[in-house]
Amino acid sequence: MGSYRMCMCFTRKFRVTEAEPPRDVKEAFNKYAEGGTHMTAEQLQRFLLEFQADGGVGGGAAESDAERIVEQVLQKRHHIAKLISRRTLTLDDFHHYLFSPDLNPPIRDQVHQDMTAPLSHYYIYTGHNSYLTGNQLSSDCSDVPIIKALKRGVRVVELDIWPNSTKDNVHVLHGRTLTTPVELSKCLKSIQEHAFSESPYPVIITLEDHLTPALQAKVAQMLIQTFGEMLFYPESDCLKELPSPEELKYRIIISTKPPEEYRKAKTSNEKEHDSHKSEEDLWGKEPSELTEEHEDDDTSDSDSSEDNSHSNRGSFSSGEHEYKRLITIHAGKPKGGLKEALKVELDKVRRLSLSEQALEKAAESHGTDVVRFTQKNILRVYPKGTRFNSSNYKPLIGWMHGAQMVAFNMQGYGRSLWLMHGMFRANGGCGYVKKPDFIMNESDNQIFDPKAKLPVKKTLKVKVYMGDGWHLDFKQTHFDLYSPPDFYTRVGIAGVPADEIMKKTKKKEDDWTPVWEEEFTFPLRVPELALLRVEVHEYDMSEKDDFGGQTCLPVSELRQGIRAVPLFDRKGTKYNSVRLLMQFEFI
């Protein structure tokens, strides 16, 4: 008797029933197939134009697009021989088409934004300590995470450069930690080989420089030898405005402090603490332990005009000159406090770096000044030093204030990193996303104030129909030993604080292909900065709920209509089969 019950249990567990198409899909099929049992390419084309509000696959709903879809679906679903006899879709074929992420994705995959504005007009996909394989204190330094980041579309790579033990070569490592070094030349070579594997737009290398003048000269040589023609640097000493991503296609640009500032800072600051410490080296100190002066000194790196005084240039060696010449985006520490650091200068562009806490403080007291600064200059935000485990912070505070380089530990993972992945799925995943016009508005009474109470601009309606694919991507016993999983979906918005919310569906018990058919409405004040968050979890009565997939999608990029939404694992790798069927509508 026992073995019989066991057998029953297992047949129940392994049974995966094909869920039938949701009611909306059936109704759309009936309407566009005009009551028939088959839908022609012409009828599908009408559905794409009217129901999906779709400019078709390539932008204009041509009949050839619809014909190509019909052909692809039939090829995928049926034996090739059947192709000859019919060129129409059944209800199941139509459902299969709608539920295929490769044929019917939720967002477009082409670059479609204007790429001819200065670099400061874009959010740029930015890595932090890009060379670390794991945590910030003891993991190995390697070129492998750099390659991974570039293949994900990251466009800003950060390298901390230090003299090696014999002071005759340059190593990349996280200073004053136990991280094992990797040679700079190896990292540069890997950047050169993989920079444009995912995107043609420029790669910016930010150097955290701890070198002697002789080694700086050596780095200049390495950069020229490794990158050759790929390396872009300005003719003049300082740029008034940055070039555009379009002008800089397939180019590498360098951002760091000019050598004389670095040396000047060192002599003037030795009394208090070794300014050889980089802006990120205050290990283990929470902001409360830092004096105001320390905070400004160690978290801001902007160029102040006095620092470029000619009297200082006499001490240059020719090698240093070469190194300085290669810097396109100048960084440096400001004289005075934050107000000074945020001054916009007419005749030059610079980069300012703030820790996540320094940005929060700046946002509190000088929010609109920060926005104004970023219209022309580059603001880089980086994780606080106490994030030893390579975790991340909320990226939206930076984006709301126009920060182009919100630097993230790409080797960590978690919800903040999912938001970063989501943001840079926009614009064809090319690593550059144009800032909304309101952030770039320069007239004084129109400077965007992230703290202002704003009216609802647009409402997004999201319907979660069903999910599928877990039985293919997970072991049968992954979620529950003796029964099928109990899935529910969380859907919500990350964006400006007033737009942030999470909702969830009811749980669907014992089903590998759950059908929820639930609708959610999200009023949005700043839809341009909103990300749609989607997570699937498996309800577990006794322990923490199991994770079943996630994705983040830029709301501004969502294609209306019924779409197949592929899900990703915790680290952001796409599952082979797990996906949701959802509908998006703007009202």
Name residue 497's amino acid: P
- Please state, in angstroms and rounded to a whole number, the distance separating the CA atoms of residues 245 and 114: 10
Catalytic pick from 95, 121, 128, 421? 128
* Distances, alpha carbon 405 to alpha carbons 153, 204, 369, in Å: 14, 10, 17
CA distance 124 to 116: 14
Coil, strand or helix at 225: helix
| Both structure tokens of 147 | 């390659």
How far apart are the C-alpha atoms of 233 and 517, rounded to whole Å?
A: 55
Q: Supply 242's token pair.
A: 């940055």
Bridge partners of 550?
535, 568
69 CB burial (10 A radius; 0-12, 13-18, 19+)? buried
Helices (H), 454-579: 470-473
How many CA atoms lie less than 13 Å away from 358 in the CB half-sphere?
32
Catalytic residue flag (residue 174): yes
Cα→Cα distances 83→29, 73, 89, 538, 546, Å: 21, 10, 11, 40, 42
DSSP result, 265-331: HHHHHTTTS-TTS-TT--TT--GGGS-HHHHHHHH-----GGGG-GGGGGG--HHHHHHHHTEEEEB
Nearest CA-CA partner of 231 in 99, 92, 325, 340: 325
Q: Which residue is catalytic, options 95, 174, 401, 421?
A: 174
E strands, 152-230, in order:
156-163, 170-172, 182-183, 203-209
Give the distance between the most distant pair of CA atoms in the chain. Answer: 95
Q: Which residue from 228, 159, 147 is spatially nearest to 195, judged by alpha carbons?
A: 147
| d(C-alpha 159, C-alpha 155), whole Å | 13
Enter the tokens of residue 228. Answer: 């050759």
Q: Which residue has the tokens 């696959």?
A: 57
Record the tokens describing residue 515, joined without a space: 């059908």
Positions annotated as catalytic residues are 128, 174
